[in-house]
Amino acid sequence: MTVWCFGSINIDHFYRLDHLPAPGETLPATSYEVELGGKGANQSVAAALAGAVVRHIGAVGADGASALAQLEGFGVECSGVQRLEGPTGHAVIMVDSAGENAIVIHPGANRALAAGPALKALEGAELGDILLLQNETAHQAALAEAAMGQGMEVIYSAAPFDVGAVRAVMPFVNVLVVNAVEAAQLQDALGVGLEDLPVESVVVTRGSEGASWHARGTPQIHVPALPAQVVDTTGAGDCFTGALAAALSEGQDPEAAMRFAAAAAALQVSRPGTSAAMPRRAEIEALLGESG
């Protein structure tokens, strides 16, 4: 099966600092790097390096040639990426010495893309293919509805969290992926527990506490986080979701897919960066072998 990702493509500007700035504080950066990013691109790269066939649908601006070349260099097919006027999406990412981050995003082409070409690109999908999507583009609900109508499995990473966006997309979702904070916000907003959300399955990522799979009428699956020397947590959730999609596309059961994704995330946080830190399949399998 193919993993299709409808998602953002960003140019990430990384500033490494001793600590994150307080209001009004000016700090010198210890280093500066530019890298491919965006939740969509990150998930596409994570899935491709984990072994999946990946096709990306999205948009870049007039300054996006390098970002697109990097995405293709990771093995992601990009014929569904629109080339627009104006800027490519970009992010300013500050990372402190403990690996924690603060991020500012400008959406650029990600919000300017047209629905028609995106839907046209998705027509090439086959029954059982997977669609990954997030909240950094326009037209998520339209793509999710089209994918479900074509018999695809839809995995929705509800980040950055917005309850209105989640309400619109959720009717067309098979697997909803949220972190622990987002899960609590969603339950508060809708007034229901995880098992009563109108989706087949909910995956909750909990950082160092691992991740859990909730499906109505079946026992909860919990997988622990693997030990890691944390260097940078930026993109860890995207790594987990992309690797999870890759494993599910191969027919792995939820518990095996979750363990695979947890191993990928453990490797990713031990390295600096986002897309460049995504692990390859052989590394993931080696870590799983070492952990038993």
Active site residues: 238
Burial of 139: CB neighbours in 10 Å, binned 0-12, 13-18, 19+: middle
Q: Which residue has the tokens 């339950």?
A: 187
Query: Contact at 8 Å (CB) between 235 and 95?
Result: no
* Helix (H) or strand (E) run with residue 272 in it: none
Give the pair of three-digit tokens for residue 276.
Answer: 């460049």
Query: Contact at 8 Å (CB) between 35 and 274?
Result: yes
Q: Please choose, from the candidates 290, 278, 184, the residue with its C-alpha nearest in 3D space to the C-alpha of residue 238.
A: 278
Which alpha helices (DSSP H) does the chain contain, by range? 39-49, 65-73, 109-112, 115-122, 140-149, 163-169, 180-190, 236-249, 254-269, 281-291
Separation between Cα atoms, residue 90 and residue 270, nearest integer Å: 24
Give the pair of three-digit tokens for residue 171.
Answer: 């009717």
Distances (CA, A) of 237 to 37, 171, 207: 13, 23, 9
Separation between Cα atoms, residue 118 and residue 78, nearest integer Å: 12
Separation between Cα atoms, residue 4 and residue 219, nearest integer Å: 29
